[in-house]
Structure 1
């Protein structure tokens, strides 16, 4: 059995190389709409999407996240953070920060569902995308509240994820092997 949605799911890959050209507003709106239509616990819809297309702000978020991540007690994260050539957004011109109301029920799962909808919508309109959690490091420390205010993230909301969006520099066609032993059926 196959259909357009299943084919989009199978075709989607994490893209980490983008053209500088900004995405079109109608593409962005379709992706945001897909996020808004994600399922949420008890239909609370307690998420907030912050779209950042300002290059200076993206550079600031990259620098802040890397500075904070360099202090994390994880060698792999530290190595990434200390790599001068590493950009947490992979040079994407658009980043959607997905935040959730900390008082909501299962908000991390709700935000994850919204992120997945956005990733699939991006693929369906021909854009590259990647789910990036590294951005959360930018919101650690004393300046977190001020940064959230600067970005218009509502009070009581916490950034969970980000989705980077842009036109693909290269098409990825390789399909990583999928584990066969992850399903069992009880009938």
Structure 2
């Protein structure tokens, strides 16, 4: 099977990491994959904030949980109140992808960048997971400032990265293949 397709099919959301930091060469390759994502009108409207500072990672987790605990959604609120939950899964690296506010399709472009980074990480045997729970954190201007997001950019998503702390390979969930409408 083609290596790219194999990597795409093997990628899983990893939620348990070793505390060893990923090396700078691997980090560079992951970000470079994000930079090579397709964009509307080749805008390339993204900015990547790499956080490896343990104190800031801990703050992001605690603040995110605090916001989750106030959610109207019962599932999210329950997770936010659970002391065992870590919203970045104790990963040693967090990458936040922000987009230029005035770009044509910054959220779509940033989504493509994250997908490329997740696939690149898998190709390097590095675990990753796309993080959605931190989105409310990005609505707080003081938190955005702590993250060093450049002016004119809006943070959209985070993704956690680190060496996998799993004993056996995760199996793929059954995929719904009845989602194709082919018109000839």
Q: What TM-score do you get using the length of structure 1 for normalisation?
A: 0.94
Cross-structure match for 1:4: 3
Cross-structure match for 2:61: 62
Task: Provide the secondary structure at the position in 2 that maps to 1:165.
Answer: strand
Matches within 5 A, 1:30-49: 30-49=29-48
Q: CA RMSD in A?
A: 1.1
1:41 Cα offset (Å): 0.7
Aligned residues of 1:66 and 1:137 also touching (Cα < 8 A): no
Cross-structure match for 1:100: 99
CA distance in 2, matches of 1:62, 1:139: 13
CA distance in 2, matches of 1:9, 1:110: 19
Task: Provide the secondary structure at the position in 1 that maps to 2:158.
Answer: strand
1:149 Cα offset (Å): 2.5
* From 166, 173, 184, the counterpart of 2:170: 173
Q: How many residues align?
A: 183
Cross-structure match for 2:86: 87
Aligned residues of 1:13 and 1:172 also touching (Cα < 8 A): no
Structure 1 residues without counterparts, runs of 5 or longer: none
Cross-structure match for 1:158: 154
Residue deviations 1:90-141 (CA, integer Å, cap 9, x gap):
010000001111221111111110000000000001100000011222223x
Structure 2 residues without counterparts, runs of 5 or longer: none
Task: Provide the secondary structure at the position in 1 that maps to 2:134.
Answer: helix
